[in-house]
Amino acid sequence: MKVGERITYFRQKKNITVNKLANLAGVSQSYLRDIEHGNKQPTVEYLSYICNALGITISQFFDYDETTDELMRTLRRLNENQKQKLIALLSSFDEF
């Protein structure tokens, strides 16, 4: 897992800019941008500032599962009808 990519993922999920996240975390915009681009690695202390600003714990930050990530990307591409059919299918598994 690349730390910078995870920060970018959560930042975009929260729909906030690099500048806003940097301000919320108390780090410089250039430092945050360097982290997101993989040019720098944050210390645990700075990562905790960033996570707090994102409204997540460090544990949530590192809770990464490639299968879940792939499922989420696939789900985002489904239209509403497809989502409802998938929910019905998954609900049928409760009967087992």
The whole-number pLDDT of residue 58 equals: 92
What homologous superfamily is domain 3-62 in, according to CATH?
Answer: lambda repressor-like DNA-binding domains (1.10.260.40)
Its pTM stands at 0.67
Q: Reply yes or no on whether the pLDDT at 1 is more than 70.
A: no
Q: In which region does residue 15 sit, left (phi positive, over 0), alpha (psi from -120 to 50) or beta (all else)?
A: left
User: In angstroms, rounded to a whole number, what is the distance separating the alpha carbons of residues 53 and 41?
Assistant: 17
- The 10s digit of each residue's pLDDT in 32-78 is 999 999 999 999 999 999 999 999 999 889 887 777 777 878 888 99
With 0-12 CB in 10 A as exposed, 13-18 as middle and 19+ as buried, what is 79? Answer: exposed
Whether pLDDT at 83 is above 70: yes
Average pLDDT score over residue span 22-40: 97
| Mean pLDDT (the chain, rounded) | 91
